């Protein structure tokens, strides 16, 4: 009996389903105009984690904690309106929140059963300290806490990636050093800790650095000139263009 569910393997190249980035990272120095640009993108819900939209008219919702962010995620999924774009502003702030989510995760493990806890002198029971008195999981020796930070960050990133066909992550920039041709050179890099930058970049189809040049807002997808940027999308690869959405999302 033939298996009707058998996998049919291609014998020729299969066309791509989209030319535009499904997941995009944009980053820059503060107050460059990233959030203003997001407000001009049609059918884009901005999830504001830094109160950056307070003075901007935009399709926006604000989260002040991971609890509020979780409620927003559930609301977006339950909504009858399906947004074409969702922007998370910023993923740098998300990392800061995940540090304390990671701390709570560690405290639930056997190894963390005493972490941020004190013994009640009357009952002898371990009680959790108020959060204002917590030590961060990143204070664990030999960097052991970074595993929990990565797990928390990946968990929230994966939830956010399900919210729309196109998800945009906004980040801050940090000046870093990189070795190129045996020399240390200054580069513009995503302001994320260690492997979190790698996790974020792996989930993106394009990473663009935003800046002003001759009174025009530009976005670079080129790794030249000390900028950490790139793109899997053919029309953006190694390009430096005016920051206009119809040049990024072409289908």
pLDDT in tens, 75-100: 999 999 999 999 999 899 999 999 99
Mean pLDDT of the region 204-224: 92
- Read off the pTM: 0.87
pLDDT score for 150:
94
Helix (H) or strand (E) holding 97: helix 91-107
Q: Which residues pair with 32 in a beta bridge?
A: none
DSSP state of 109: S
Residue 188 pLDDT greater than 90, yes or no: no
The model's pLDDT over 167-183, given as tens digits with 9 standing for 90+, comes to: 999 998 876 544 444 44
Helix (H) or strand (E) holding 67: helix 66-78
Give all domains of the chain, ordered by start, each with its CATH number. 23-248 (3.40.50)
pLDDT score for 181:
43
Mean pLDDT of the region 144-159: 95
- Angstrom CA distances, 71 to 39, 41, 66, 93, stand at 22, 24, 9, 17
The model's pLDDT over 54-66, given as tens digits with 9 standing for 90+, comes to: 999 999 999 999 9
Rounded Cα distance, 248 and 55, in Å:
26
């Amino acid at each position: 009996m033939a298996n009707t569910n058998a996998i049919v393997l291609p014998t020729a190249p299969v066309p791509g389903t989209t030319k535009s980035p499904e997941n995009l990272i944009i980053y820059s120095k503060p107050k460059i105009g990233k959030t203003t640009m997001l407000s001009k993108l049609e059918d884009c819900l901005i999830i504001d984690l830094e109160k950056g939209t307070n003075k901007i008219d935009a399709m926006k919702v604000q989260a002040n904690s991971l609890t509020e962010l979780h409620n927003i995620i559930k609301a977006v999924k339950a909504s009858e309106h399906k947004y074409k774009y969702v922007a998370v502003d910023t993923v740098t702030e998300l990392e800061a929140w995940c540090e304390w989510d990671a701390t709570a995760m560690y405290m639930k493990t056997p190894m963390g059963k005493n972490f941020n806890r004190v013994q009640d002198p009357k009952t002898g029971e371990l009680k959790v300290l108020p959060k204002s008195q917590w030590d961060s999981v990143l204070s664990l020796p030999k960097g052991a806490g970074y595993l929990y930070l990565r797990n928390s960050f990946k968990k929230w990133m994966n939830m956010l990636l399900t919210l729309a066909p196109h998800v945009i992550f906004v980040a801050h920039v940090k000046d870093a050093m990189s070795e190129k041709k045996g020399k240390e050179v200054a580069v513009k890099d995503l302001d994320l800790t260690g492997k979190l930058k790698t996790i974020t970049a792996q989930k993106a189809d394009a990473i663009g650095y935003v800046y002003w040049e001759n009174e025009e807002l530009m976005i670079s997808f080129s790794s030249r000139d000390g900028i950490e940027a790139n793109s899997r999308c053919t029309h953006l690869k190694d390009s430096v263009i005016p920051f206009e959405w119809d040049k990024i999302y072409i289908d």
